[in-house]
DNA sequence: TTCTTTATGACCGGATCGCG
DNA sequence: CGCGATCCGGTCATAAAGAA
């Protein structure tokens, strides 16, 4: 399923379809005053709004699992495993704040620095806006890309970037043994212009080897969006083979 | 000891503010 | 007005602290 394709609208439909089996529509969508179910508040929405929090854990778990599945074939080629929630005390990756996904020589949650080949931090959101239609069955209607709603998904949020940078530095300074382990941030959105030179510098300094977006077409109607920064600190991948 | 309460932090998105 | 940076917050999981 996720072996051929990167992040697309179909992923988000799949997320909502699967999540609706274990959660309620009210946990996953905003309800407007006229009874419509929206993933995000549209930009032109007027009226009383709330901030949905109950979806956060769902999307976090889904994207980390998806990232693990997409990395696993690559890990296999290296004769290794893509493992979720990796704990490595020496790198300050503890139970409450593990590595989202890591490629490791052994298939265990607990790892020694020597056995970790690469660390991946997953920072992905719902990118498009969706309306849940309740007919006989549930169906989902795409209302537009992230320019049309009020949310700021994934790596477009500055504090998401700061969080990723902070955690990576935490690993780097926890132990010298992290020095040889690449750290990659996986997202499904572009990054803002204000981080272009920063991600390149982070790469050149050897702190974070890349901010990679796995969303080939984050904008509808062929909207302009960045392919990569000058030094490739940020890169957008357009196909699985390229990835 | 065992049960209950409080504290902490991760998750991600809206609100607000400042700046052009 | 629009954008980005920062701040705030609901929910959940876990753990520490307190009560019985």
Residue boundaries of the structural domains of chain A: 3-242
Nucleotide whose C1' lies closest to the alpha carbon of residue A61: B11
User: What is the tally of helices (H) and strands (E) in chain A?
Assistant: 5, 10
Residues 24-43 of A with CB under 7 A from strand C: 27
Rounded to two decimals, what is the model's pTM? Answer: 0.84
Residue nearest to nucleotide C3 (CA to C1'): A192
User: CA at A127, C1' at C11: how many angstroms apart?
Assistant: 21
Q: Is the dihedral of CA A118, A210, A147, A151 positive or negative?
A: positive
User: CA at A185, C1' at C1: how many angstroms apart?
Assistant: 33
Question: How far is A100 from A220, CA to CA, in rounded Å?
Answer: 29
The reported pLDDT for the residue numbered A44 is 66
Partners of A30 in beta bridges: A38
Instruction: Answer yes or no: is A41 CB < 7 A from strand B.
Output: yes
A69: left (phi over 0), alpha (psi -120 to 50) or beta: alpha
- Per-residue model confidence as pLDDT tens for chain A (243 residues): 444 678 888 888 888 888 877 777 877 888 877 777 888 877 766 666 677 777 777 787 888 888 888 888 888 899 998 888 888 878 777 776 788 888 988 888 888 888 889 988 888 888 888 888 877 677 888 877 777 777 778 888 777 887 888 888 878 887 788 888 888 888 888 887 777 778 888 888 888 888 888 888 877 766 667 788 878 888 888 888 888
Residue with structure tokens 């660390």?
A119
- Rounded to 10 degrees, the C-alpha dihedral A57/A60/A66/A68 comes to -110
Spell out the alpha helix ranges (H) of A116-211.
Answer: 158-174, 196-204
Instruction: Please state, as a whole number, how many other Cβ atoms lie within 10 Å of the Cβ of residue A86.
Output: 23
**Nearest residue to A75 (alpha-carbon basis) of A120, A114, A110:** A120
User: CA at A117, C1' at C3: how many angstroms apart?
Assistant: 38
Instruction: Answer yes or no: is A165 CB < 7 A from strand B.
Output: no
Tokens of A181: 């382990």
Residues A112, A178: contact at Cβ < 8 Å?
no
Instruction: Answer yes or no: is A104 CB < 7 A from strand B.
Output: no
User: CA at A15, C1' at C13: how many angstroms apart?
Assistant: 22
Rg, chain A, Cα only: 18
Residue with structure tokens 């490791």?
A104
A172: left (phi over 0), alpha (psi -120 to 50) or beta: alpha
Strand, helix or coil for residue A220: coil
């Amino acid at each position: 399923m996720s072996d051929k394709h990167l992040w697309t609208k179909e992923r988000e439909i799949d997320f909502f379809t699967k999540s609706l089996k274990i959660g309620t529509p009210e946990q996953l969508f905003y309800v407007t005053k006229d009874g419509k179910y929206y993933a995000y508040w549209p930009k032109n929405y007027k009226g009383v709004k709330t901030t949905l929090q109950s979806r956060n854990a769902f999307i976090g778990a889904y994207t980390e699992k998806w990232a693990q599945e997409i990395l696993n074939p690559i890990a296999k080629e290296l004769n290794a495993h893509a493992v979720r929630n990796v704990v490595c005390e020496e790198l300050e990756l503890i139970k409450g704040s593990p590595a989202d996904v890591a490629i490791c020589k052994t298939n265990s949650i607990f790892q020694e620095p020597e056995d970790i080949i690469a660390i991946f931090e997953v920072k992905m959101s719902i990118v498009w806006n969706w309306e849940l239609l309740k007919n006989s069955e549930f169906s989902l209607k795409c209302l537009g890309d992230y320019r049309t709603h009020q949310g700021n998904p994934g790596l477009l949020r500055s504090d998401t970037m700061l969080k990723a940078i902070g955690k990576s530095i935490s690993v780097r300074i926890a132990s010298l043994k992290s020095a040889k382990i690449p750290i990659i941030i996986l997202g499904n959105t572009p990054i803002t212009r204000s981080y272009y030179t920063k991600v390149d510098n982070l790469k050149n300094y050897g702190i974070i080897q890349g901010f990679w977006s796995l969303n080939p077409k984050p904008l509808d109607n062929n909207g302009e969006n960045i392919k990569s920064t000058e030094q490739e600190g940020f890169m957008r991948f357009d196909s699985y083979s390229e990835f």
